[in-house]
Amino acid sequence: MRELDPLDRKIFGLLAENGRMSNLEVAAHVGVSEKTVRQRIRRLIERDGMRVVATMDLAAPPSRLIVLVRVESGRRFVVADRLAAMPQVDEVHLTTGAYELIVLASFESDSDALEFYVRHIEQGPGIAESLSTHVVETITRSTATRPDHFAQFDEQASTVGSMSELLDLACDVATASLGADRVHVATGNIRPADSALSPSPSAMRWRGLSSRYVEEIRIKGQAEGVILPNIVKHNQHVFVADAQTDPLFQSVTDLVLSEGFHSWMGMPVCSDDTRRGTLCLYWNNIITYREDLVLQAQELADTLGKHLTRYSPESPDASPAPA
């Protein structure tokens, strides 16, 4: 057995006195995050043979990622071992089929998840190709039946006569049903080089944001490729607890401060595997990541994407976008 460092000794001592102490309680006693305690306990058990009787912490981590990895020839085990050694990675599975590895990882925030994916997967040695997706909820038999939160929005969206009316309706529903203080919905291309988006004409609607902020974010996004292109490129939501301090918003911190919001979440709006725009939610205060909030925002984005198909060029019912 290796010699334990001071933090491991503190954790071991607390669990030796009370094996039913939760990870959160241990974290409060030793002055580190719950995630650090969870990782340390796992290492003490798997590597050092510690055995305890403790309360299981069933709370899901704030951000979970599943990554399918295709590796270069002969690099399967090297890549698997490298990823498995990272503290963010919970499990690495060797698989058959198109992708050799499935990686499950947990993070304190979506920003951390995105940074991990770009740095260690996209730019990782030995990795030829990858696909990633966020876990927003785990479905079990007890949760398989759920209410439709946006049935009324779906019904109303079917009757609107223009894209502008549809986007206005989505803004109203987002602020009323998701508790967002501000909202921005955009369709079409986010930047000129973004050929992966639907070719439909772009349109925007927002609530609670200044016109100056919307215009400057649009210009900066085209020039610098900030935030929204990341959502579009990876086709995933991004949640930021405090945009005033988060590195993802570093290039637009002045705009965020002048606008005065804190928490932010961006969602791709898709239909039939085609991206048709983005849905962005803003909160004036700092809120915590919640799976139910992400799930409902995704449901709203999916419903909106379904109705946006009526205004795409290939739709027989398409009408010109508002000026």
Q: Token pair 């609607």 is at which residue?
A: 205
Q: Are residues 99 and 231 in the same domain?
A: no
Q: Give the pLDDT of residue 101.
A: 93
Provide the CATH number for the domain around residue 77. Answer: 3.30.70.920
Q: Show pLDDT as tens, one digit a residue, over the chain (323 residues).
A: 567 788 888 888 888 877 777 888 888 888 888 888 888 888 888 787 777 654 444 556 778 899 999 999 888 899 999 999 999 999 999 987 789 999 999 988 888 888 899 899 999 999 999 998 888 777 665 555 555 668 889 889 999 988 999 999 999 999 988 889 999 998 875 444 444 444 444 788 999 999 999 888 877 765 555 555 456 566 778 888 999 998 888 888 898 999 999 999 988 888 877 788 889 999 999 998 888 888 889 889 999 999 988 886 554 444 433 32
On whether residue 239 sits in a domain, the answer given is yes
Q: Give the pLDDT of residue 274.
A: 79
Provide the CATH number for the domain around residue 283. Answer: 3.30.450.40
Q: Are residues 246 and 126 in the same domain?
A: no
Q: Are residues 72 and 188 in the same domain?
A: no
On whether residue 323 sits in a domain, the answer given is no
Measured CA distances, 247 to 53, 100, 117, 177, 250 (Å): 40, 32, 15, 29, 5
Provide the CATH number for the domain around residue 32. Answer: 1.10.10.10
Q: Give the pLDDT of residue 68.
A: 94
Which structure tokens are listed for 136? Answer: 């927003």
On whether residue 58 sits in a domain, the answer given is no
Q: Are residues 131 and 167 in the same domain?
A: no
- Distance CA(155)–CA(266), nearest Å, equals 24
Q: Give the pLDDT of residue 285.
A: 92
Q: Are residues 282 and 189 in the same domain?
A: yes
For 285, the domain range is: 151-311
Q: Are residues 270 and 177 in the same domain?
A: yes
Question: Using CA of residue 216, residue 217, residue 222, residue 224, what is the dihedral sign?
Answer: positive
Q: Are residues 15 and 81 in the same domain?
A: no
Q: Are residues 32 and 115 in the same domain?
A: no
Q: Are residues 93 and 223 in the same domain?
A: no
Residue 230, helix vs strand vs coil: helix
Edge-to-edge strand ranges of the sheet holding 101-107? 89-94, 101-107, 63-71, 127-135
Instruction: Report the number of distinct structural domains present in the chain.
Output: 3
Q: Are residues 90 and 33 in the same domain?
A: no
Q: Are residues 164 and 78 in the same domain?
A: no
Q: Give the pLDDT of residue 323.
A: 27
